[in-house]
């Protein structure tokens, strides 16, 4: 095999790894947003309970 083949393999593997890292970061960010949404929902429920208890 010649030198060009090995360079092609290395570049392809680096692209695959880069795509994997980007997907992993994207999934992590998506989970962080979902967690923040759940926290806001719980805060709204707590606020509703407090206002209901005061009446």
Token pair of 46 as six digits: 């707590």
- Quote the CA–CA distance of 42 and 35 in Å, as a whole number: 11
Q: What three-state secondary structure class fits 2?
A: coil
Number of domains in the chain: 1
| Structural domain includes residue 1 | no
| Structural domain includes residue 38 | yes
| Structural domain includes residue 34 | yes
| Structural domain includes residue 3 | no
- Quote the CA–CA distance of 41 and 47 in Å, as a whole number: 10
| Structural domain includes residue 5 | no
Residues spanned by the domain of 44: 20-55
| Structural domain includes residue 12 | no
Counting residues of the chain whose pLDDT is more than 90, the rounded percentage is: 78
Span 37-45, mean pLDDT?
94
Band of pLDDT at residue 23, cut at 50, 70 and 90: very high
| Structural domain includes residue 7 | no
- Quote the CA–CA distance of 21 and 13 in Å, as a whole number: 12
| Structural domain includes residue 11 | no
7, pLDDT greater than 70: yes
């Amino acid at each position: 095999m010649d030198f060009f083949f090995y360079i092609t393999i290395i570049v392809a593997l680096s692209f695959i790894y880069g795509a994997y890292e980007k997907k992993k970061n994207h999934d992590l960010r998506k989970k962080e947003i979902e967690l923040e949404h759940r926290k806001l929902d719980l805060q709204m429920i707590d606020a509703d309970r407090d206002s209901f208890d005061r009446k």
